[in-house]
Chain A
């Protein structure tokens, strides 16, 4: 009898210790947000769009301040060169040199593909912190490319998000979401992403090469490669203005 009582105490203690080691879903999300978040960010990247018939590469430079302000300029190919996009809170404008017009992207246009890639304008707008948009719960553990991950199930806190639910595989050591499935309210898989390589930049783990795939679209998906990124740089205020679109 004494032995059973001793064992019960041991199990209870082990459970407590394990619970302390094992963070909750929301805590994991917070760490992911901390890893990705920065006051400001300047990056140069390229999108390799692997369509059904052709593969195109689009180069771009982005300036981001928090989660509310973002400015992107397309550098290549020649047809897209000079096209600029400005995001301020929940508003998005696009400027094309061919028309010399600044057009606000809204409504169903937000679901359009960005430069024919597997990313939509809605995806670009959707860079708020995970913790602000979703409630998380750990569903299981899994291993991806020899990395041990928590698999989190995310449920949207309100209806006003692009994806009703997500399933993400978070690297337990580096707090990077190595894989992500994005679902519609009906439960249909809409998009999935995979982080193919990660590097240590300015003291944080950051994705270097990612694959985005729109499940409703043909082709092999879009490979997004970040060639350079700097964090917490000073960005002049005028960059995030409509006037800078025409410059």
Chain B
């Protein structure tokens, strides 16, 4: 039966070419669309986890309420003890303290007077201890443009854009002007060991990285940290486990339940990604659904056209004794075959294009110049397991749906009228 159908489809291109092309095109676009959406989602989650929230984050309650303002006066105190407790209780997670701050970078001239000055966002993270994973988490080695990572206290990384704008050479000692934990203006010197570029416009404008101990000294934050971030040891975000860990931590009785008591939030809770991703998934699934419906309409029309073109063929087949049910099933089987072949070919093309987008991406830096969200300025796709079969839903479903609707016309044909139709 299948062999017979296949021969018919291959020998009579008018039956198969147009529907196949539509299925191939539709499936390819579905696979690319899905993979691109997955890539976009993964990119947002990864960037927010690495640079902002970790998979889990511990802050004081007051700090958590205003964390976007980096209120270091509300930072956690007694961080060494808190870290020991976290490391002992939640062993599947790697915990690291971080301090985020805003301020100015002041570049001196040869006489020590200000030659250039610009605003910065700073991140103090554990860059120097033997067991640290922070340079890897922050992707610093890959982001280096010139120079090297800090190897000793007093060194820092600045973005390439900042270095270029303020004419800061490698090895130059600059002054950071910011606010201490106690709210006073504070200044401290750091030497630029390297420049970095992340491809995220909001970060590349003026981010600096230094070891947390240098930032602690500068901001008068001894044994304090604004945030303690945790990453699952396998590097993947596990939402259910993260929720459980946060719930367990937050259920511990606090010795002094006040606004400075530590609280834990998951990546989704802290970054506000939960609602964003929910909306994003809703939109993406709606897009795929709209796509399937649109394809169904196209294929329905294709089926109708085919039915009209094959009007005579169906009449003869009915006249020689083929039942309407058999003919309808034949048509459905034929379209299933077209759908299957089209889906396979469309998926292959879709995967190839998605893979290209995953590896090379599309540079949108020109439109991201003034963006303030943590998002890569190279759009990339992500080929996932679902990418391999997502195309089967519209590819097969739409083809079958189109044929099932257009094929209903077979049942309207009256055997008694067939002779008249042939005479005409």
A contact set with B: CB distance below 8 Å: 49, 51-54, 56, 79-80, 94, 96, 98-105, 109, 112-117, 121, 217-218
CB of B255, distance to nearest CB on chain A (Å): 15
Q: B184 and A116: CB pair below 8 A?
A: yes
What residues of chain A lie closer than 8 Å to B106, measured between beta carbons? 101, 103
Q: 1/0 per residue B24-61: CB within 8 Å of A? A: 00000000000000000000000000000000000000
Q: Which residues of chain B from 253 to 307 have any CB-CB distance to chain A below 8 Å in the complex?
A: 260
- A103/B189 contact (C-beta < 8 A), A56-B182, A79-B220, A116-B184 known: no
Q: A99 and B175: CB pair below 8 A?
A: yes
- A101/B187 contact (C-beta < 8 A), A53-B260, A79-B220 known: yes
Among the interface residues B73, B77, B114, which one has the most CB atoms of the partner chain A within 10 A?
Answer: B73
A117 vs B179: C-alpha distance in the bound complex, in angstroms? 12
Q: 1/0 per residue B154-194: CB within 8 Å of A? A: 00000000000000000000010101101111111100000
What residues of chain A lie closer than 8 Å to B183, measured between beta carbons? 51, 113, 116-117, 217
What residues of chain A lie closer than 8 Å to B175, measured between beta carbons? 99, 101, 103
B contact set with A: CB distance below 8 Å: 73, 77, 104, 106, 108, 112-114, 175, 177, 179-180, 182-189, 220, 260
Partner of A103, one of B77, B114, B182: B114
What residues of chain B lie closer than 8 Å to A115, measured between beta carbons? 182, 184
Among the interface residues B73, B108, B182, B183, which one has the most CB atoms of the partner chain A within 10 A?
Answer: B183
A58 vs B113: C-alpha distance in the bound complex, in angstroms? 27
Q: A105 and B188: CB pair below 8 A?
A: no
- A54/B182 contact (C-beta < 8 A), A101-B106, A102-B113, A104-B114 known: yes
Closest to B189 in A: A99
- A98/B182 contact (C-beta < 8 A), A79-B220, A103-B177, A104-B114 known: no
What residues of chain A lie closer than 8 Å to B185, measured between beta carbons? 94, 105, 109, 112-114, 121
| 6 residue pairs, one from A and one from B, having the closest CB atoms | A116-B182, A116-B184, A116-B183, A115-B184, A112-B185, A113-B183
Q: A101 and B189: CB pair below 8 A?
A: yes
Q: A99 and B184: CB pair below 8 A?
A: no
CB of A215, distance to nearest CB on chain B (Å): 14
Partner of A99, one of B77, B182, B187: B187
What residues of chain B lie closer than 8 Å to A96, measured between beta carbons? 186-187
Can you spell out 10 A-B residue pairs with CB atoms less than 8 angstroms apart? A49-B182, A51-B183, A80-B184, A99-B187, A101-B106, A103-B187, A109-B177, A113-B179, A114-B184, A115-B182
Partner of A51, one of B108, B113, B182, B188: B182
